[in-house]
Amino acid sequence: MEKEVNIGDTGISGDALENILNRVFDAHKTDIEAWHKDQLSKFEDNFVVIDPAKFVAILDISFISQDTWDGTNGYYDMKPQDYIATMNQFGEELPDNPHTTKQGLEKLYRFALKINEVPAEKMFQYRIVRASDAEGVGYLVGNIQPLQSLELRMRRAGVV
């Protein structure tokens, strides 16, 4: 039998706490898995991640605009109405309820982002393209080399 652990003013060691938690999780593993499955059936994530092998977002940004831009986190989100209009242009089939989740939250459609630096006067626009049409355009934010990274030259970049 395991030794009882008395939690007093001296605290509890990390190993003792881990031992207690493991016993609780082991004893209730079936209940926890059933609860998790039930939660997944009732609720739906409001971020819908679009497969980057199908579609990506491209940010066309001019060199002059880089000084006032604060960087990016590597993705581009679209509201349902914009997503529907965009996918209709491509002739894509839409989900049954493209607007809200089961719990009533507005869905946000998340696209992987590619940066395309352009030698224009002022350019700062996002556009959605088929991934096959974007193969030679810019670079995916998550897969860039540090020396190429526009984000690492920005003041508050979120990408490393």
Q: How far apart are CA 54 and CA 133, in angstroms?
A: 10
In a domain, 30, yes or no: yes
Q: Which amino acid is at 45?
A: D
Q: Look up the pTM and report it.
A: 0.63
My answer on whether 55 and 29 are in the same domain is: no
The per-residue pLDDT for 86 is 95
Domain that holds residue 24: 14-43
The per-residue pLDDT for 96 is 87
My answer on whether 102 and 32 are in the same domain is: no
Q: CA gyration radius for the chain?
A: 23
The per-residue pLDDT for 9 is 63
In a domain, 79, yes or no: yes
Whether the pLDDT of residue 35 is over 70: the answer is yes
In a domain, 4, yes or no: no
Span 130-141, mean pLDDT? 77
Q: Which of 115, 119, 143, 132 is closest to 57 using CA atoms? A: 115
Most confident by average pLDDT, 7-11, 37-41, 56-60, 71-75? 56-60
Q: How far apart are CA 60 and CA 143, in angstroms?
A: 17
pLDDT in tens, 96-131: 889 999 888 999 999 998 888 777 778 889 999 999
My answer on whether 79 and 139 are in the same domain is: yes
The per-residue pLDDT for 159 is 43
Q: Characterize 109-118 residue by residue with b for buried, 16 or more Cβ atoms within 10 angstroms of its Cβ, and e for exposed.
A: bbbbbbbbbe
Q: Which amino acid is at 39?
A: Q
My answer on whether 51 and 93 are in the same domain is: yes
The per-residue pLDDT for 157 is 46
* 5 contact partners, CB below 8 Å, separation of at least 6: 12, 16, 19, 20
The per-residue pLDDT for 116 is 82
In this structure, the number of other CB atoms found within 10 A of the CB of residue 140 comes to 15
My answer on whether 73 and 116 are in the same domain is: yes
My answer on whether 30 and 98 are in the same domain is: no
Q: What is the mean pLDDT of the chain?
A: 80
The per-residue pLDDT for 88 is 95
Whether the pLDDT of residue 147 is over 70: the answer is no
